[in-house]
Amino acid sequence: MANPLSLPVVAIGTLVWLGMAHRLPGTGGPGFIGAINLRAALLLAAGAWVGISLTSHFIGRLPDAVHARIYPLLLALVTVVMVVAG
């Protein structure tokens, strides 16, 4: 249920990084503004938008007990993916 709030927070954070890009020493190359990979940022935003749209119908239907069990598993999955891909 926190995901709809994540998109505006990420958008503001990205705008701040974009605003500070001129202060960073160099860039990541083509497709980057400062430290922001624009392609990755757009793909993440699109994925979040789709995910929010698809799951918003289940917010009222999912009991809190189920949500409380599933959410830590999701966080663990994200952690594993970050460790393996990183």
pLDDT 10s digits, 9-37: 878 887 887 777 777 666 677 888 777 78
Quote the pTM value: 0.55
Which pLDDT band holds residue 73 (cuts at 50, 70, 90)?
very high
Structural contact between residues 46 and 68, judged by C-beta atoms closer than 8 angstroms: no
Structural contact between residues 17 and 35, judged by C-beta atoms closer than 8 angstroms: yes
Structural contact between residues 85 and 19, judged by C-beta atoms closer than 8 angstroms: no
Establish how many alpha carbons lie within 13 A of residue 50's alpha carbon, considering only the half-sphere containing its beta carbon: 6
17/85 Cα distance (integer angstroms): 23
Predicted pLDDT at 32: 81
85/3 Cα distance (integer angstroms): 23
